[in-house]
Structure 1
Amino acid sequence: MATDALAVRQKVQLFLNAARTGNLDLFKNLAEQLDDGKGLAQTVADVKDANKRGALHFAAREGKTEVCKYLLEELNLNVDVKDDDGETPLIHSARQGHTATAKYLIECGANHAIPSELGATALHHAAGLGDIELLRFLLSKGVNVDSQSDAGTPLIWAAGHDQPDAVKLLLEHHADPNVETDDDITPLLSSVAAASLPCLELLIQAGAAVNVTAGGATPLHIAADNGSPEIINCLLKAGADPNVTDEDGLKPIQVAAARGNRRAVEILFPLTSQLQTVPDWCVDGILEHMQAETGKIQEETRNLKEDNILKDAITSGQDKPQVTPEAKQKAADAKARAEYAFKQKDYLMATDAYTQAIDLDPTDAILLSNRSLCWIRLGQADHALADAKACRALRPDWPKACYREGAALRLLQKFDEAANSFYEGVQLDPENKELVNAFREAVEAGRKFHGTEKQKA
């Protein structure tokens, strides 16, 4: 009986993989094998993975328009079927940049206004990718140019991903240059965080405010942190105030000095009122003072993290569920299937098998670590981060768990947090070159990207 169930699961995975790769003949053959009397259309509609993604989701995500045509025109499947994240096939195709497939789905009646659970629509993804053809097509259909998501409007997505052509097109269609997210992020703030001078210039021309704040920081604070002279000068020319303080009471010149951005300090120095807290008020004096202050803070932070790691290590063995030998054996079998699928680069099948293993043995951190990697390969950063955090909770002293967490945060473009995770791994294993290099790369990426938590597309 167990063997029959395993055979069915494997057939389901092959079926969905055929949709993903566009192998229509194999797909039809497997669909007929899976049909248990409900009829082909109902069988195909019912077959889904652990995230409730069906054949249409996979075909759309990989741009397999011919498979989509078969599913919609011959089997009459629901073009707006949602997966566990509330994402329709249209959203999947738009996110991956499959313009022709996305347009076909819309022509087949796909509702372009349906958002995912995070509020993102096809327009958001097209804007973030700079897919001008799809943007124009969607805008011609009368979409809401200012539709909000957890990460802001399409204009915020375009500005935050350095897509000036998309920014220009959205502004031409009257996108609001001063729209804000719940966290006070505006398109201009997003463009500065992305170090996108072309987007910044377009937004300023459209009337975007330059002295807004988000998280207590102004665009000039973010630019000072990045250290881009061009962006700093652009903001100053547009009226940015160099004497506004952030939530930590720091002016932009102090932020630039703390980062060691000398050119930024030199630009801001003649425009910044003298601070009594800085003994030697000159470019070198400001740099030296802020570098010294930053060193003190970093040392205190390191000590606090080391204390937390120790506390986690002490409590990590408490309240763990008991796993029977039989369950451990079944988990090992599922893990073996997952490893085989991973080697074949079938990350969806690997993810499903690891999920079965974790359900059987939730105490095995390696399973969570491996599934986190599968999620990363599939581009599912949020799922990858959740698994990495669960892995670290089980084994706080395991360097690889730190690496997995950092990798997921890096994919989410949370570079400062990623650097922290990689650094904690280096503390545990100073000779681990992979962790050391990842830490350095995250720090450098954070410098270019502002290092604060950025809203992701």
Structure 2
Amino acid sequence: MAGWSRRDGGMGVGNSDRQMAASLGFIASAALGGRTASMSSESADEMKRSIMSSDCNKASGRSFMEFLDRITEESNKEEKLGPLHDAAGKGKMDTCQHLVENLGFDVNIPANDGSGKTPLACSVSCGQVIAVRYLLHKGADLNKQDVTGFAPLHYAAKRGYDGIARLLLSRGANVDVNSSEGTPLHVAAAHGKFGVMQILLEHHAHPDRVSPDHCTPLAEVLCAANEKVNESGCLKCMNLLVKAGADLNSTDPDTPLVIATSKGLTGCVDYLLEVGADANVRSKDGGRRPIEIAAKSGRRGLVESLLPFTSPIRTVSDWSVEGIIAYARSRPTEDKGQESDEDSNIQQNLRDESAVREDAGASRACTKDKLSDEDRKAQLKLHGGKAVSRMDYTGASKFYTEAIMLDPADATLYSNRSFCHLKIGEKKDALVDANACISLRPEWPKGYYRKGAAHMSLKEYKEARDAFMDGLKLDPSNLDIQNAYWEADEAMIKKHSAGQSIWPFA
């Protein structure tokens, strides 16, 4: 018990400390004894409060709080999914065998939470290959889909589990089973999982299937570029699809060349041109060719790449790099109705998943002569998202400010503007907007993430950690917030070790 001491510096142990030590000793012994301790959220919260108010060693306190979070999450998952799902997901083979062989559990039993997820899907999504083999041996349906249409193969594709994907396919998994996010190939492409994509294509996955979101696998991997996979990884995945016969000029949701140009992916544009993509196919929204999109956004390098492959445009008198850029910039924004929102609409169709641009993609552009306040707000969101995509955070902030004037109760606008403030160094303004976001939408984890980020930039690490903790209470599985929490925690420790007493246990 040397890690526990009284606040007055004495050598004794207070009653509350003894109670805490006993409680923590119980859960520690449960873990060491080979079983998972079960604890309700209420009990865990009470124990956390006890830890925070105690004199425990800071490292021990962190470890115990992390352990409490883990066992609480595990208990909640077990309650939501079911005991066989829990055992399969954790690779507890003795428990799996007991439940199936002694208690007669159905290996295809759906989860208790209404998701329709099977024990096999749980074992696949957690990478528990021994459990996967056992459940297949016991007759698990490897093509059974949950309420989103995901089969076990989708989960292997999403996580990038090459070996499990190969195992499922060898046992007869449907390579093109469809879901709300498309086939396993769509899912693997959307997450840049090269190895799984290769395996799926070896098993004759269709390279041009269109998902419910109107995307081909080639479009999916381009949408994921610089979000879930770097451009180099994107190129590798594209090469796989092209070799498998993917249509280079499919317009679902736009041609690959339009998508790559809109996202400024120079390497991808060069590759597509090299393998024969048509540079003259226009975008769906606005009807512009890739070279016009590149010129409008000021991407000179892309204009230079596209120029030799593009047929001259009749209305461009100077068919040169400079002439095309000048033409694109001088072109009236009202031409062809909705062309002023060309880039934003393309980003909308691509389902851009970045934090700030996500909401922009949910809105539709409207012609200027028919704008209501709601339509105007939606258009400002689109412009804000486009500005963020160009890293013009000052411009984006102005668009979000205008939108807030139209609708001061939209929490997303404050969240997005907080992000922009942070990017341009306006730290206190970022915090103000984060607090406004939380006030308007207290159940949304993103607001607490923004608040924590603002506090981190202000070097207010305890406040940042508290904000991230509040976000985790709402969304315990959010990896971004988890990582941010521990980053703030580490910063607190470093600041404390430098001589500033901020540790709450001290």
TM-score after normalising by structure 2: 0.51
Instruction: Structure 2 unaligned segments of length 5 or more: list them.
Output: 1-25, 41-74, 225-230, 331-339, 345-379, 388-394, 416-434, 465-479, 481-506
Q: Distance in 1 between matches of 2:102 and 2:296?
A: 63
2:141 maps to a residue whose letter is: N
Q: Give the secondary structure class of the aligned counterpart of 1:93.
A: helix
Q: Distance in 2 between matches of 1:81 and 1:67?
A: 16
> Are 1:130 and 2:146 counterparts?
no
Match of 1:180 among 210, 214, 235: 210
Q: Is the 8 A contact 1:147 1:154 kept in 2?
A: yes
Q: Give the secondary structure class of the aligned counterpart of 2:80.
A: coil
Q: Using the TM superposition, give the Cα deviation of residue 220 of structure 1 relative to its aligned residue in structure 2, in angstroms.
A: 0.6
2:161 maps to a residue whose letter is: D
Q: Using the TM superposition, give the Cα deviation of residue 260 of structure 1 relative to its aligned residue in structure 2, in angstroms.
A: 4.6
Instruction: Indicate the residue corresponding to 1:120 in structure 2.
Output: 150
Q: Using the TM superposition, give the Cα deviation of residue 58 of structure 1 relative to its aligned residue in structure 2, in angstroms.
A: 2.5
Q: Using the TM superposition, give the Cα deviation of residue 143 of structure 1 relative to its aligned residue in structure 2, in angstroms.
A: 1.5
1:57 maps to a residue whose letter is: H
Match of 1:56 among 73, 84, 87: 84
Q: Distance in 2 between matches of 1:286 and 1:264?
A: 12
Q: Distance in 1 between matches of 2:104 and 2:410?
A: 54
Q: For 1:368-423, what per-residue CA distance to the aligned partner results, in whole angstroms no more than 9, with x for missing partners?
A: x9xxxxxxxxxxxxxxxxxxxxx99983388x95x70697xxxxxxxxxxxxxx7x
Q: For 1:318-373, what per-residue CA distance to the aligned partner results, in whole angstroms no more than 9, with x for missing partners?
A: xxxxxxxxxxxxxxxxxxxxxxxxxxxxxxxxxxxxxxxxxxxxxxxxxxx9xxxx
> Are 1:65 and 2:93 counterparts?
yes
> Are 1:109 and 2:123 counterparts?
no
Instruction: Indicate the residue corresponding to 1:166 in structure 2.
Output: 196
For residues 56-455 of structure 1, what are the structure 2 equivalents within 5 Å?
56-83=84-111, 84=113, 85-194=115-224, 195=231, 196-215=234-253, 217-246=254-283, 247-275=285-313, 281-284=319-322, 286-287=324-325, 297-298=383-384, 305-306=400-401, 308-310=403-405, 312-313=407-408, 395-396=439-440, 404=446
Task: Considering Cα pairs closer than 8 Å and 6+ residues apart, tell me whether 1 or 2 has the greater RCO.
Answer: 1
Residue range with higher mean Cα deviation, 109-118 or 54-63: 54-63
**Would you say how many aligned residue pairs link Structure 1 and Structure 2?**
310
Q: Distance in 2 between matches of 1:65 and 1:130?
A: 23
Q: Distance in 2 between matches of 1:302 and 1:203?
A: 38
Q: Distance in 1 between matches of 2:408 and 2:318?
A: 45
Q: Give the secondary structure class of the aligned counterpart of 1:395.
A: helix
Q: Is the 8 A contact 2:437 2:447 kept in 1?
A: no
Q: Using the TM superposition, give the Cα deviation of residue 219 of structure 1 relative to its aligned residue in structure 2, in angstroms.
A: 0.6
User: In 2 relative to 1, CA 211–22 (structure 1 residues): closer, same or farther, beyond 3 Å?
Assistant: farther
Q: Using the TM superposition, give the Cα deviation of residue 187 of structure 1 relative to its aligned residue in structure 2, in angstroms.
A: 1.7
Q: Distance in 1 between matches of 2:459 and 2:295?
A: 30
Q: Distance in 1 between matches of 2:410 and 2:247?
A: 49
User: In 2 relative to 1, CA 280–126 (structure 1 residues): closer, same or farther, beyond 3 Å?
Assistant: same
Q: Is the 8 A contact 2:78 2:86 kept in 1?
A: no
Q: For 1:77-128, what per-residue CA distance to the aligned partner results, in whole angstroms no more than 9, with x for missing partners?
A: 2322222321112112212222222222222222111111111111112123
Q: Is the 8 A contact 1:191 1:200 kept in 2?
A: yes
User: In 2 relative to 1, CA 224–405 (structure 1 residues): closer, same or farther, beyond 3 Å?
Assistant: farther
User: In 2 relative to 1, CA 27–72 (structure 1 residues): closer, same or farther, beyond 3 Å?
Assistant: farther
Instruction: Indicate the residue corresponding to 1:354 in structure 2.
Output: none
Q: Distance in 1 between matches of 2:255 and 2:448?
A: 27
The CA RMSD over aligned residues, in Å, is 4.5
User: In 2 relative to 1, CA 74–178 (structure 1 residues): closer, same or farther, beyond 3 Å?
Assistant: same
User: In 2 relative to 1, CA 160–58 (structure 1 residues): closer, same or farther, beyond 3 Å?
Assistant: same
Q: For 1:4-54, what per-residue CA distance to the aligned partner results, in whole angstroms no more than 9, with x for missing partners?
A: xxxxxxxxxx99xx8xx89754679x9xxxxxxxxxxxxxxxx97697312
Instruction: Structure 1 unaligned segments of length 5 or more: list them.
Output: 1-13, 31-46, 317-368, 370-390, 408-421, 436-441, 443-457
2:121 maps to a residue whose letter is: I
Whichever of the two has the greater Rg, that structure is 2
1:81 maps to a residue whose letter is: I
1:235 maps to a residue whose letter is: L
Q: Using the TM superposition, give the Cα deviation of residue 207 of structure 1 relative to its aligned residue in structure 2, in angstroms.
A: 1.5
